[in-house]
Structure 1
């Protein structure tokens, strides 16, 4: 399965906690964040420029908008616009209520849906000890949050991907080690049942010996590609069967998230994190490009309505 896979470093970013790889096909630019170092970074594939935008607090994830110079940053409890050229952060468009948890909580992974909604999760710093998270639809136009999953329903909200043909959103709960599927409306927002709760179905339970699932994306054939930070690899899953179709070993121990990009959408850009101690990879914290023969992604990231 791994024959002729091409892996190279595109940015030696030395991220402490590299997450949220987001490809802007309009300008051939890859965004990502270093959560622990409190910054947003981007790499222009045409000019090879690598730019760092420092923030005053942790940035969990970013999303694209219709303006190629403006992105959205989900911080600890606010979502703010960022002027990429000026490297400045605007006033909050949305603030999480205090009764949803403030101490030790922050925004984590999130993405724009096919219809322009911002689906984003929040996590607790002690998630490994069972402290739960939440999943929201964040309406930055009105400043309102819709609770999609409360603390009783999700541990650590993480990777998301959409199959628009099947009107399905796939979602990773890293704490549970699962990938679940949710029916969506035309905007790609998961729909609730008569009981007011999302009607998800678990399609993959990742065994501990394989790794824990983190960031995720989808390819043109509908297969899910998931970063496995305890498994030093990317896993490719068939959502119809839950089968692990292939496992691509990586030259780092802790890949965290992935997205398709490049002019032909045939590069899986992978973010990674710091490694310490004996056996640490020399490539920790770098942004990798992984080309798997015959595998391409779907067109571009979705734009959040602002």
Structure 2
């Protein structure tokens, strides 16, 4: 049944995605970007002017990041890594590390502190351990970093850039990997958080300026804030929809928490109970400051 949501959380605009994901705040243009995975759409919304634009990439899209030097996105789509021109919508493919796996697609991705783009894959039928996590270098070489992943999801890097946090959703766990910023090498991961199944499954993730992790809960009606050093649950934000997919900080001072959600997988009755499913939400001036997203170094 629907749960009582935080009254300060509001819907950003009158648009609902089938599977919204991957929110990224563009600090240069003061707009929020996100995707609708299954509809193959990139959305951009400028809050001050209330302008909403959509780019159709004509295939499923799993994630994106901003490029540091020009008006392009780097993205992970069904057919691999690509650039997307933000003005024309033109898609320029880079590489497809899973060309031999047509039943896989890319999912969540994010740039690391050195400007490399990381994105993982999953089976279209959610077959266990069919995916991998890849890293796209600035020279456009692709390296596989983790294999036997089921649903590659949330990524974040610690404030000192020495730890990479990672979520493989069905495990219900958040992993911490030693991370070398200079080389992109990761060490052996360890479990730092386990989400109880009754709270939903950990999905997308971001980090704030205090080094705390914010995790979206698929099927859990909430976003939670955790201390990755002590595994302490510090805060939870209730939403009016079950499938919460990801979150990021935006706004002028990076104090607005943007939250993506989905209506995929909901029955007709559930859709009636959750009329806002698939919306982009925001908690304005949430009392915590985020950190700017890293751009792709190209």
Q: 2:142 maps to what in 1?
A: 145
Backbone CA RMSD of aligned residues: 2.0
Q: 1:215 maps to what in 2?
A: 204
Deviation at 1:3, TM superposition (A): 11
Give TM-score scaled by structure 1 length: 0.89
Q: 2:115 maps to what in 1?
A: 116
Q: What is the alpha-carbon distance in structure 2 between the residues aligned to residue 35 and residue 270 of structure 1?
A: 15
Matches within 5 A, 1:33-182: 33-90=35-92, 92-99=93-100, 102-127=101-126, 129-139=127-137, 141-142=139-140, 144-151=141-148, 154-165=149-160, 167-182=162-177
CA contact (8 A) 1:227 1:234 kept: yes
Q: What is the alpha-carbon distance in structure 2 between the residues aligned to residue 263 and residue 188 of structure 1?
A: 32
Q: What is the alpha-carbon distance in structure 2 between the residues aligned to residue 94 and residue 304 of structure 1?
A: 16
From the superposition, tell whether residues 202 and 277 of structure 1 become closer, same or farther in structure 2 (CA, over 3 Å).
same
Q: Is it true that 1:305 corresponds to 2:297 in the alignment?
A: yes
Q: What is the alpha-carbon distance in structure 2 between the residues aligned to residue 262 and residue 295 of structure 1?
A: 12
Give TM-score scaled by structure 2 length: 0.92
CA contact (8 A) 2:74 2:83 kept: yes
CA contact (8 A) 1:273 1:285 kept: yes
Q: What is the alpha-carbon distance in structure 1 between the residues aligned to residue 216 and residue 32 of structure 2?
A: 17
Count of residue correspondences? 291
CA contact (8 A) 1:219 1:297 kept: yes
Q: What is the alpha-carbon distance in structure 2 between the residues aligned to residue 54 and residue 200 of structure 1?
A: 37
Q: What is the alpha-carbon distance in structure 2 between the residues aligned to residue 263 and residue 186 of structure 1?
A: 28
Structure 2 unaligned regions, length at least 5:
none
CA contact (8 A) 2:19 2:278 kept: yes
Q: What is the alpha-carbon distance in structure 2 between the residues aligned to residue 78 and residue 59 of structure 1?
A: 9
Q: What is the alpha-carbon distance in structure 2 between the residues aligned to residue 169 and residue 159 of structure 1?
A: 10
Structure 1 unaligned regions, length at least 5:
192-197
Deviation at 1:4, TM superposition (A): 7.8
Partner of 1:175, secondary structure, is helix
Q: What is the alpha-carbon distance in structure 1 between the residues aligned to residue 284 and residue 6 of structure 2?
A: 9
CA contact (8 A) 1:260 1:266 kept: yes
Matches within 5 A, 1:259-274: 259-274=248-263
Q: 1:282 maps to what in 2?
A: 275
Q: 1:230 maps to what in 2?
A: 219
Q: What is the alpha-carbon distance in structure 1 between the residues aligned to residue 41 and residue 170 of structure 2?
A: 25
CA contact (8 A) 2:65 2:111 kept: yes
CA contact (8 A) 1:114 1:188 kept: no
Equivalent position to 1:185, from 180, 184, 189: 180
Q: What is the alpha-carbon distance in structure 1 between the residues aligned to residue 6 and residue 200 of structure 2?
A: 24
Partner of 2:160, secondary structure, is coil
Deviation at 1:150, TM superposition (A): 1.4
From the superposition, tell whether residues 287 and 209 of structure 1 become closer, same or farther in structure 2 (CA, over 3 Å).
same
Deviation at 1:174, TM superposition (A): 0.1
Deviation at 1:68, TM superposition (A): 4.9
